[in-house]
Structure 1
Amino acid sequence: MKTSRTGSESETPAVALRRRAEGIARGKTFRIPENMESLSVEAARQMLHELRVHQIKLEMQNEELRRAQEELNAARARYFDLYDLAPVGYFTLSEKGLILEANLTAATLLGVARGALVKQPIFRFLLPEDQDIYYRHRTQFFETHLASSGQAGEPQACELRLVKMDGTAFWGHLAATAAQDADGAPVCRVVLSDITDHKRAKAELQQTLESLRKAVGTTIQVMVSAVETRDPYTAGHQVRSANLARTMADEMGLPQEKIDGIRVAGSIHDIGKLSIPAEILSKPTKLSEIEFSLIKEHARQGYEILRNVESPWPLAEMVYQHHERMDGSGYPRGLKGEEILIEARILAVSDVVESMASHRPYRAGLGINAALEEIEKNRGTLYDEAVADACLRLFREKGYRFAETRSILGPINRV
């Protein structure tokens, strides 16, 4: 059996209000009007009580309405701060591109009074060269909105240049969200941000990077020339190895940033030979064990030369590892498998292929077929399988050939 709730728990707001009013009325004393002689004293008293209770209820309701109005005014003030004084512009566009409403920030960004914005076509504030961008995005936006049955979906963004009333232009980022007006017609809610400073900083950064890349290219060409002056018999070896390594990396689908790094590292992978006596580098007979051990030091010496060079790529480590082998039999550290950078694995194959195919002081060139057989035979053992496969495809299926060039200054400047 259910227990009944107490009066305070079951009272409706109206009942509670009357109870409060009656409590106040009981504490008041009222005079009975003289023209109410036909009523009994008790009846008149009851009628006056009811009127007084009703009056008090109205006064209490008015007080609650007053408080509600104050809260509403405070909420409107907060909305004004959040909407009108937001750090970004807000406006609503019709399907035809008319501005239906806008906040103060949007009006300030466009240099016009907010009232003057309403019913204006947005294209009036777009740089003529960028209006096609706007039309393209607007068409796509509303087509997507219709296809999604009116659902808001993810905001769609674009960047274009807008023109203020005084004729000055600025870069704007527009993020649009689909909505509907009171009649159910599709509209576009747009958030507008001024990104002029961001665009300017980005352009300056790009210009700085371009200058840096040109400087890196010039420096690398000097390094290449220095190595080849010391070791004329390997003239062009680094350049040809670098071009093959770059093409292999592209064949493997590596990101452009890695491809650029491989190209640069390949162009200076033998820079450590600057520390080796020239008579050993150009010796026409077979090297002794001691001489060969000195030659093997060039990878470590190259690392020492490059390790403090600021670069977007791990050039020093790539040069350090280009004689390592997948099974750990390489030098100087005996790295194996995934311990070796993918860039160094690519350089290892390109270095072997170019070296075997070309002439050396102590032997004639063995030819490209012998070089490819070496790679195929040791695929997966000494050389990375994917790298070896890319190399074999390039020569056997895609007609790759070594170029005769000895200069990389131009290409590196465009890295």
Structure 2
Amino acid sequence: MISYNEKNAKNKLPSRIMVVEDEAIVSLDIQGRLKSLGYDVAGIATSGEQALKLIEETSPDLILMDIMLEGDMDGIDTAAKIKKYHSIPIIYLTAYADNDTLKRAKITEPFGYIIKPFEDRELNLTIEMALYKHHAESTLNDNRRWLKTTFDSIDDAVITTDHRGRIKSMNKAACLLMESDIDNMFGRDFQEAVDIFESATMESIKIFSQNDSVLGDVVLKSPQGTIPVSVNISGISEKNDVVGKVVVLRDISELKKSEDALKKSLSQLRRTFDETVVSLTAMSEKRDPYTSGHQQRVAELACRIAVKMRLSAEEINCIRIAGILHDVGKISIPAEILSKPTRLTNLEMNLMKTHSEAGYEILKGISFPWPVADIVIQHHERIDGTGYPNGLSGDNILREARIIAVADVVEAMSSHRPYRAALGLPRAMAEIARGRGTAYDPEAVDACTQLIEEDNFSFETRTEI
């Protein structure tokens, strides 16, 4: 796998990492590791104040921030100030994983956490993940700005009237469209001055007999000829009385050209989106090779359950993406725990349970068209409130998360794990049947049962949704 750092080294210098660490030995160790991994060390700071000053001088690509720092500001305080004035991804280095610290840290929206002590591979993977996510967010933000500029450049003709339909004002686009100016149009009856007709019958439309409405298939007769337009009519009310109207005329021929350009842009955004999802999944599964393919199989079963439940195509697509990404937070869990061949201790299990919150932190900044981050953080919640991390219950859990929860249990019990052999589908089905209506959504359980027992679904013979 080519790292983000290696991929971009062809076009620019290696990524520059700033280290904020007040323990000299640890700082030197991190510097050595970064250099051996092919990164440049942009600077070293031992306090928050020094870090803020150094950022102005070095402009690093990423910051490794120890939470516990000497001075008046700890790492979290420092990260908050950096976030306010700079767009630099921050990864926390910490030996502490208590809830209070994590809650404070979440507010600063870090790009990752590394629990000390850590391995080179963990450091490299977390940095690459943060750099990639930051790059993806920057690209999406650039595309948003481009789209906004495109929309803003579409000049609609706007005409306002009083309650009797007399023209009071026109914008520049309206003047250009009508090849006139406000001095000539002011006070004229809108119906007489602006000729709007049905495109099919060419019958005149009485605009002021229309309530607030949108007319999409009409034409405007102007000095330029017949122009297809859409018309948006809105009343101006004052004390429940209509005191005027705003009429917006949009040249549909230009809009169609813009729509074609937007379709191409949206197609590119869709490709970027799909590539981002695939990359996020691949990175998380490299941390947990024993469950490789688990997220895809869960997504497959969850989508099939959603089809049985007659959810819409959009809802099913949402479940597919959330299912593929539901365990992405495991990238924050030490590899030794993920691959441990024996059952986890209570401490290890509590750390493992943070993966849904870590997944939320990774995904919440990405502008998905669905609540993917919320689904990911809720996929271990249970109907009776016994799940984690927030003990949600009933309808407070998103339906998509309830469906993924059922699919997750069935797939996990049916597959091999480092600490046990596969338990098989019968045991998995018995588990969800036992928890139907208490731990698990009854409709999702019934749909899953029908899939496996009546439709003979199996992970070996699954088909793409």
Q: Residue 191 of structure 2 aligns with which residue?
A: 83
- What are the superposed Cα offsets for residues 88-123 of structure 1, whole Å, 9 maximum, x if unpaired? 622597xxx7x68899xxxxxxxxxxxxxxxxxxxx
What is the identity percentage for the equivalent residue pairs of Structure 1 and Structure 2? 44
Larger RCO, structures 1/2 (Cα 8 Å, 6+ apart): 1
* Local SS of the residue matching 1:224: helix
Between Structure 1 and Structure 2, whose CA radius of gyration is higher? 1
The answer to which structure has the higher helix fraction is 1
Matched, 1:264 2:371: no
* Maintained 8 Å contact 1:160/1:172: yes
* Local SS of the residue matching 1:313: coil
Return the offset for 1:255.
2.6
For 2:357, which of 297, 300, 311 is the aligned residue? 300
Instruction: Summarize the alignment of residues 98-177 of structure 1 with structure 2, pairs less than 5 Å apart.
Output: none
Q: Residue 312 of structure 2 aligns with which residue?
A: 255
* Maintained 8 Å contact 1:171/1:199: no
Q: Residue 325 of structure 1 aligns with which residue?
A: 382
CA 279–387 in structure 1, closer or farther in 2 if over 3 Å, else same: same
Return the offset for 1:208.
2.6
CA 169–266 in structure 1, closer or farther in 2 if over 3 Å, else same: farther
Instruction: Summarize the alignment of residues 130-279 of structure 1 with structure 2, pairs less than 5 Å apart.
Output: 194-279=251-336
Q: Residue 394 of structure 1 aligns with which residue?
A: 451
* Local SS of the residue matching 2:197: strand
CA 367–197 in structure 1, closer or farther in 2 if over 3 Å, else same: same
Q: Residue 356 of structure 1 aligns with which residue?
A: 413
* Maintained 8 Å contact 1:357/1:367: yes
CA distance in 1, matches of 2:390, 2:198: 63
The answer to which structure has the higher strand fraction is 2
* Maintained 8 Å contact 1:357/1:365: yes
CA distance in 2, matches of 1:169, 1:356: 67
Return the offset for 1:263.
0.9
* Local SS of the residue matching 2:436: coil
Q: Which 10-residue stretch deviates more, 249-258 or 383-392?
A: 249-258
CA distance in 1, matches of 2:217, 2:423: 57
CA 234–404 in structure 1, closer or farther in 2 if over 3 Å, else same: farther
CA 294–199 in structure 1, closer or farther in 2 if over 3 Å, else same: same
Q: Residue 376 of structure 1 aligns with which residue?
A: 433
Q: Tell me the TM-score normalized by structure 2.
A: 0.49
Q: Residue 70 of structure 1 aligns with which residue?
A: none
The aligned amino acid for 1:82 is F
CA distance in 2, matches of 1:367, 1:234: 15
CA 255–170 in structure 1, closer or farther in 2 if over 3 Å, else same: farther
* Maintained 8 Å contact 2:199/2:218: no
For 2:400, which of 333, 343, 346 is the aligned residue? 343
Count of matched residue positions in the alignment of Structure 1 and Structure 2: 262
- What are the superposed Cα offsets for residues 284-326 of structure 1, whole Å, 9 maximum, x if unpaired? 1222222211111111111111122221111111111100000
Q: Tell me the TM-score normalized by structure 1.
A: 0.54
Q: Residue 65 of structure 1 aligns with which residue?
A: none
CA distance in 1, matches of 2:386, 2:460: 31
Structure 2: which 5+ residue stretches go unaligned? 1-165, 167-184, 207-212, 232-248
Q: Which 10-residue stretch deviates more, 199-208 or 367-376?
A: 199-208
* Maintained 8 Å contact 1:269/1:319: yes
CA 368–171 in structure 1, closer or farther in 2 if over 3 Å, else same: farther
Return the offset for 1:78.
12
- What are the superposed Cα offsets for residues 145-201 of structure 1, whole Å, 9 maximum, x if unpaired? xxxxxxxxxx99886999x9x9x9976669xxxxxxxxxxxxxxxxx9842233333
CA 171–360 in structure 1, closer or farther in 2 if over 3 Å, else same: farther
* Local SS of the residue matching 1:290: helix
* Maintained 8 Å contact 1:92/1:102: no
CA distance in 1, matches of 2:328, 2:265: 27
CA distance in 2, matches of 1:343, 1:349: 10
Return the offset for 1:365.
0.9
Structure 1: which 5+ residue stretches go unaligned? 1-73, 104-154, 175-191
The aligned amino acid for 1:378 is G
CA distance in 2, matches of 1:240, 1:161: 53
Q: Residue 33 of structure 1 aligns with which residue?
A: none
* Local SS of the residue matching 1:89: strand
Return the offset for 1:398.
2.3
* Local SS of the residue matching 2:310: coil
Q: Residue 369 of structure 2 aligns with which residue?
A: 312
* Local SS of the residue matching 2:392: coil
